[in-house]
Structure 1
């Protein structure tokens, strides 16, 4: 899969995604302090799924009806970095077909995947 990771995403998650064969553009490396709107536009140009811990992407997708290739919102506070990485990769392995074009929320106890109408 092709991802754009917001700069708030832990570096270790980005590294593990890359090690798993995913293409990941990491905003912290190339575009620090970019606006969410700019990052979403950049992701759309590359057909990349946004990975973020920023709830503002929900505002862009739901209230402003912005087009997207998919958004994964990570709500994994309290987990160790290894547990976060393992959890994200497990969701991608088990539910990869559902994620493109959807708004996915990953929490320690649940995964919610919603299409955006």
Structure 2
């Protein structure tokens, strides 16, 4: 995949992504920072997924409608964790990113906003309160929040809590804007 790393992403991520076979440009190698709008335009012109720590890019894409080829935002990861998180997300959700998704990854949580979504992104507490889940896309293109453990207690919780396109487990996630067990609000 073609990737543009924002200046705020640790420079060591560039080498690790290149070793994994990605075509990577790190904006930290540029003579000066061109600013968020210009960087997003540059990534789009070259067909690159933008990886950043800065939430302003998502705002530019969503609120202002600036075109992009996918944005991955890393939140609260130490510099040396950034590469492994990027590799994990690119491996599992690269296709979504290449079609213009905006993904926010933070410890224990991943949010995916597809380009055709007008509402809130999908939210998943990847490993919360002893339960684990993942987002899976079915053949119709619908994302579902599914428990890793297909045991009866996970299924019971999922059927009791999940509705519509959402299936959930305790501490895992629910429809955007609602409150999950324990009072956590899904955004």
Q: Do the structures match in fold with TM over 0.5?
A: yes
Asked which structure has the greater RCO (Cα within 8 Å, sep 6+), the reply is 1
**Does 2:67 correspond to 1:67?**
yes
Q: Deviations over 1:11-63 (max 9, x none)?
A: 12122111111011111102432111111111111011111101110110111
Match of 1:110 in 2: 109
Asked if structure 1 preserves the Cα contact closer than 8 Å seen for 2:6 and 2:27, the reply is: yes
Gaps of 5+ in 1: none
- Deviation of 1:107 after TM superposition, in Å, equals 0.8
**Does 2:17 correspond to 1:17?**
yes
Match of 1:99 in 2: 97
- 2:79 and 2:3 mapped to 1: Cα distance? 22
SS in 2 for 1:25: strand
More helix by share: 1
Match of 2:51 in 1: 51
Q: TM-score, normalised by structure 2?
A: 0.58
Summarize the Cα distance change of 1:58–1:113 in structure 2 as closer, same or farther, 3 Å threshold: same
Asked if structure 1 preserves the Cα contact closer than 8 Å seen for 2:49 and 2:72, the reply is: yes
Gaps of 5+ in 2: 117-187
In the alignment of these two chains, the number of paired residues is: 115
SS in 1 for 2:32: coil
- 1:21 and 1:33 mapped to 2: Cα distance? 26
Larger Rg: 2
- Deviation of 1:95 after TM superposition, in Å, equals 2.1
Question: Please, which moves more after superposition, 89-98 or 10-19?
Answer: 89-98
